[in-house]
Amino acid sequence: MNRPVYMDYHATTPVDPAVLDDMLPYFRERFGNASSRSHSFGWQAEEGVETARQRIGRLIHSDAREIVFTSGATESNNLAIKGVVDFYRDRGNHVITAATEHKAVLDALKALAKRQLAEVTVLPVDRDGHVDPEAVRRAITPKTVLVSLMMANNEIGTIHPAEEIGRITRERGVLFHTDAAQAVGKVPIDVERMGIDLLSMTAHKLYGPKGIGALYVRSRNPRVRLAPQNEGGGQERGLRSGTLNVPGIVGIGAACELAGRVMEEEAIKLRSLRSRLHERLVEAIDQVTLNGHPTDRLAGNLSLSFAHVEGESLLMALSEDVALSSGSACTSATLEPSHVLRAIGVSDDLAHATIRFGLGRYTSEEEVDFVAERVATEVRRLRRLSPLYGVRPSITR
């Protein structure tokens, strides 16, 4: 067993060897610019790009022509949200989202609100992290142009009822965008059945390369229009100008094709490993709280709060043996408690005592058992140093 054991698969994943094999020729012999239409080097690059579109389309049940390549989910989120608000400003400027969204969504909306370009309603979630579809229905006004709600939460793993929300937005004639960065390749997605109009994704969460993502943009029933957020050579139907990252695009396509084949079997394996880890930790130490929905969650996600333990101290104590995080990698530098944990009612003390375990494709039973033992050992050690442990009841939600 290699150390440190990697259990931060929600932050990023290693590139799968099969994905890398597909990418390598596009760094070397097929190095052409996909916009070069006058020779074979360009044709080969373009063929790689179009194959990737088809592979992504099959995974999410869309037409390949509805896939727009970006640098990642953050850019996809910004293009979807700002592009809709800009293009449909004559129809309205109201956007609905939820308190547990990724900062790429919340900060994009905050920037629009600050410039008075959008009115934003941020819906609460329940203790498990679910947004109530009926709350979405009640929040829609004649000025609403977009509902933006993530498919699966990056910190607590809770999966939103996307299909029910999609039915509501379709009934009310409002566009539905979902940040599916954590969900693509891990849970079944059908943009037609779910009524999704815009979907953001990124390769590095599903064993593809970093720096490449995609945005699904519905082309009919209804046709979604976006205002481009950068100008240039008119690539990607003018929605996202810039020379295409052909090796990265080939990589995200290969990762999606592979995910489509192994997703069901992988989810079964990860649920089993997650349950094994959770059970061993609960058996070994007391006052452990699960965050997020107990079953309606990503198969590889386990968010636990350890009362009377400082999370950062626990991470540091484990850092040579186990790679873990306290939450989103995008906000790990801040000392503020997680906005996701606050939104589901976790106290600041307990939020600071939370660890996110991210299990993935290469996680083994041996690693799970090793991590459970190391975490339990360090929690007990840190609690012996705490003047509060054993003195007063555990802080709970």
**124 within some domain:** yes
Do 156 and 213 fall within a single domain? yes
Q: Does residue 99 fall inside a structural domain?
A: yes
Average pLDDT over residues 230-245: 91
Reported as a pLDDT band with limits 50, 70 and 90, residue 397 is: very low
Same domain, 237 and 206: yes
Residue 396 confidence (pLDDT): 47
Same domain, 215 and 326: no
**394 domain-assigned:** no
Q: Which pLDDT belongs to residue 387? A: 78
364: CATH: 3.90.1150.10
In degrees and rounded to multiples of 5, residue 385 shows phi and psi of: -85, -10
* 393 belongs to a structural domain: no
Are 135 and 272 part of one and the same domain?
no
Domain CATH code at residue 177: 3.40.640.10
Position 87 pLDDT exceeds 80: yes
Position 395 scores a pLDDT of 47
Rounded Cα distance between 397 and 394, Å, is: 10
Query: Do 269 and 219 have their domain in common?
Result: no
Structurally, how many domains does the chain consist of?
2
For residue 222, say if its preceding peptide bond is cis, omega within 30 degrees of 0: yes
Residue 91 has pLDDT above 70, yes or no: yes
367 and 295, same structural domain?
Answer: yes
Q: Is residue 397 part of a domain?
A: no
Question: Going by C-beta distance under 8 Å and a sequence separation of 6 or more, which residues neighbour residue 316?
Answer: none
Domain co-membership, 55 together with 162: yes
> Of 275, 380, 375, which is closest to residue 321 (Cα–Cα)?
375
Rg (CA), the chain: 22
Domain with 129, as residue range(s), is 17-258
Residue 66 is encoded by which pair of tokens?
A: 């509805």
Residue that finishes a domain, picked among 215, 243, 258: 258
Same-domain check for residues 253 and 157: yes
pLDDT for the residue 334: 57
Query: Are 231 and 269 contained in the same domain?
Result: no
- Domain final residue, candidates 258, 280, 301: 258
Query: Across residues 51-72, what is the average pLDDT?
Result: 98
Q: Do 46 and 190 share a domain, yes or no? A: yes
Question: Does one domain contain both 40 and 157?
Answer: yes
Between 238 and 72, the more confident residue is 72
318 assigned to some structural domain: yes
Q: What is the pLDDT of residue 238?
A: 86
What token pair was written down for 155? Answer: 């910190």
Q: What are 126-150's pLDDT values in tens digits?
A: 999 999 999 999 999 999 999 999 9
Mean pLDDT across the stretch 83-110? 97
Burial 98-120 (b: 16+ CB within 10 A, else e): bbbbbebbbebbeebeeeeebbb
| Triad 178, 47, 42: Cα angle to 5° | 115
366 lies in some domain: yes
Percent of the chain with pLDDT over 70: 96
Spot the catalytic one: 330, 361, 369, 386.
Answer: 330
Tell me the average pLDDT across 294-304: 97
198-202 and 213-217 beta bridge pairing: antiparallel
78 contacts 104 by C-beta, under 8 angstroms: yes
**310-341: pLDDT as tens digits:** 999 999 999 999 999 986 555 555 567 899 99
- Active-site annotation holds for 256: no
Q: Is the pLDDT of residue 13 over 70?
A: yes
164-204 pLDDT tens trace? 999 999 999 999 999 999 999 999 999 999 999 999 999 99
**DSSP state for residue 395 in the 8-state scheme:** P
Query: Could you tell me if 332 and 277 lie in one domain?
Result: yes
Q: Identify whether 219 is part of a domain.
A: yes
Global pTM value: 0.94
Please give the mean pLDDT across all residues of the chain: 95
Q: What is the arithmetic mean of pLDDT over 378-389? A: 88
Q: Last residue of some domain: 223, 258, 293?
A: 258
Segment 335-357 mean pLDDT: 93
Strand, coil or helix: what is 64?
helix
Identify the weakest region by mean pLDDT among 7-11, 32-36, 330-334, 369-373. 330-334
Return the pLDDT at 188: 97
